Amino acid sequence: MKKLVVGNWKMHGSRASNGELLQGLIDANLAQSAPNADVAVCVPFVYLADVASKLSGQSIAFGSQDVSAHKQGAYTGEVAGSMIREFGAKFAIVGHSERRSYHGESSQLVADKAKAALAEGLTPIVCVGETLAQREANQTEAVVAEQLQAVIAALGAQLADIVVAYEPVWAIGTGKTASPEQAQAVHAFLRAQLVGALPAAARVPLLYGGSVKPDNAAELFAQADIDGGLIGGASLKAADFVAIARAAA
């Protein structure tokens, strides 16, 4: 299985700076320089059209950072999966810790969003992860199991068609990173949960997210159950993101 490296721009960017960033990725010719890695960027909704145009004919995929659980209707401010897919997007991040924390998204809502994304031909990148307090209380496995179980229950056989990203909340944007051994332990646990629910889910890519940088990417990606990364801050610098993609390959 190829590694998968996904950049999450979060709420950063402008039309000008995005164009420069994407041009840097295009110039790196990742299809040749990182042939064993699939690469994508997940961008703010308002930039989907620009990104679709810039990446037309390129090997780099793209997606959104969220998706509505609803198909259509009177849901002001929401963006439906069909709208995202219309631009040619491949992915939709669901359940990022910032959505869970700042917007009160429950595990059930995250599961509903994953199901809605799949219904429109999008691949949901389902995020799970624990806070520092939960890790220190030895609750990591219980927390990520609860978050993942809601998705398992909602998707059935479609579970094999998702991506899962483990992002320890205490390592996001803090400069702290789970050690390769810590990350691998959680990834192995998540793999067991997926396979136990659906054997075909053994092929689900498991990404690590949390202060991944060029200097730690190779060691993280070398772990048996880490299939790539969900990259935050480093995805905003073309040179760093390219270096991480090459480390994955």
Domain definitions of the chain by residue range: 3-248
From the centroid of its chain, how far is CA 86?
A: 20
The active-site residue, picked from 98, 105, 130, 167, is: 167
Q: What is the mean pLDDT of residues 15-27?
A: 98
- How do residues 175-199 score in pLDDT, each as one tens digit? 777 899 999 999 999 999 999 999 9
Q: What is the mean pLDDT of residues 134-139?
A: 94
Determine whether 96 is an active site residue. yes
- Residue 177's pLDDT is 75
- Residue 1's pLDDT is 87
Q: What is the mean pLDDT of residues 68-78?
A: 98
pTM score of the predicted model: 0.97
User: Percentage of the chain with pLDDT > 70?
Assistant: 100
Quick one: 3-248 is in which CATH superfamily?
Aldolase class I (3.20.20.70)
Measured CA distances, 249 to 25, 40, 160, 240 (Å): 15, 14, 23, 14
- How do residues 199-210 score in pLDDT, each as one tens digit? 999 999 999 998
Largest CA distance in the chain: 48
Contacts with 249 (C-beta within 8 Å, 6 or more apart), sequence order: 3, 33, 34, 35, 36, 37
The active-site residue, picked from 70, 96, 103, 120, is: 96
